Amino acid sequence: MSDVIKTDALIVGAGPVGLFAVFELGLLDIKSHLVDILPKIGGQCAELYPEKPIYDIPGFPSVTGQGLIDNLMKQIEPFHPEFHLSEMVASVESIGTDTAPLFRVTTDAGTEFETKSLIIAAGGGSFQPKKPPIPEIDTYEEKSVFYAVRRMEDLRGRDVLIVGGGDSALDWTLNLQPIARRVTLMHRRDEFRAAPHSVEQMRSLVAEGKMDLRIGQVTGLRGDHGLLSSALCRGSDNAEFAISCNAMLPFFGLTMKLGPIANWGLSLSENLVPVDTEKFETSTPGIFAIGDINTYPGKLKLILSGFHEGALAAQRVYRYVYPDKRLTFQYTTSSSSLQKKLGVEA
């Protein structure tokens, strides 16, 4: 296991609200690390509606989901946040006191942090893969059945069966085809939801004999000690057949679950984290909740609400990180010290 990473603030979730919190914390000289279960930054905006315009972000008459994330990333650049993607914050242990909070936080990939404040910006909870209803699939998971590709190299030279008809299935088919021994794509019908140019590329590879496309569904798995040797399938004509493979990647979409947050000792209300509206702190001093994950009287699940919540939470985090310093309120337009931090000195 690697060394413990010590930080002032650890943000759970790299959605729009977690990203803007980096800015507000950075202005107060508070360094942030962010962890997100997804392999990419941007939460719901990037995952669910990257190309849809949003019309109620102040100052932007219209900006797409991905456009907003790109701008936030530019805005927080001066503060050099460190991202830990494809990792889920699994456990949180309090090792400090109410007046000097300190938390030991561990991810499912084994990364360990020691942080003076924890900011939960986890939206609707963690995006988790939808699992296909195949008997005993759990005995193969993480050994030869994977719901995400963490390292492409692990699949080099293997016979890979990819299941699904959306963008993830098609993108990974095209990415892995050059390095796998053989890629087979299986979908329940010969129509795909993925981007048309990816589908075209896949069909050309099939026509050139460089990969296989099979129509049907996986009904069972064969193998030993979690190592797959073949997948049993049923075609649309009900005929049964087997596909020889030693890795399977099912891409059936994502679902949002509260996940491990339920076990962090916080009081919860209908799967949301109650906070006060002065500093957006939870029932545990030093743990904050901002954005879609929190609840309080009058809460609106809007991105702009989350931005406001992050600004106020940062003020309180400052007191934990710099207990002996006084915080003076400053505007970015007129404070040369803030402008210096932003690298925009006049």
Interaction between residue 292 and ligand FAD (CB under 6 A): yes
Question: Is the separation of the CB atoms in 291 and 13 below 8 Å?
Answer: yes
Sequential DSSP letters for 2-34: PPPEEEEEEEE--SHHHHHHHHHHHHTT--EEE
Candidate list 30, 88, 155, 183; residue touching ligand FAD; CB under 6 A: 88
Candidate list 78, 96, 259, 274; residue touching ligand FAD; CB under 6 A: 259
DSSP class of residue 181 equals S
Interaction between residue 312 and ligand FAD (CB under 6 A): no
Q: Which is nearer to ligand FAD, 126 or 177 (CB)?
A: 126
Interaction between residue 81 and ligand FAD (CB under 6 A): no
The H-assigned helical ranges of the chain are 16-27, 43-47, 65-76, 167-176, 196-207, 303-321, 336-342
225: left (phi > 0), else alpha (psi -120 to 50), else beta? left
Q: Which is nearer to ligand FAD, 12 or 27 (CB)?
A: 12
Tokens read off for 293: 């994950």
CA 195 to chain CA centroid, Å, is: 22
Interaction between residue 45 and ligand FAD (CB under 6 A): yes
The residue number with the shortest CB distance to ligand FAD is: 123
Q: Which is nearer to ligand FAD, 103 or 127 (CB)?
A: 127
Interaction between residue 313 and ligand FAD (CB under 6 A): no
Helix (H, G, I), strand (E, B) or coil at 46: helix
The stretch near ligand FAD (CB under 6 A) out of 22-30, 187-195, 301-309, 310-318 is 301-309
Interaction between residue 205 and ligand FAD (CB under 6 A): no
Helix (H, G, I), strand (E, B) or coil at 297: coil
> Which residues sit opposite 325 in a β-bridge?
none
Interaction between residue 127 and ligand FAD (CB under 6 A): yes
Query: Binders of ligand FAD among 3-42, rule CB under 6 A?
Result: 12-18, 35-38
Binding site for ligand FAD (CB under 6 A): 12-18, 35-38, 43-45, 48-49, 54, 56, 88-89, 121-127, 259-261, 291-292, 301-304, 306
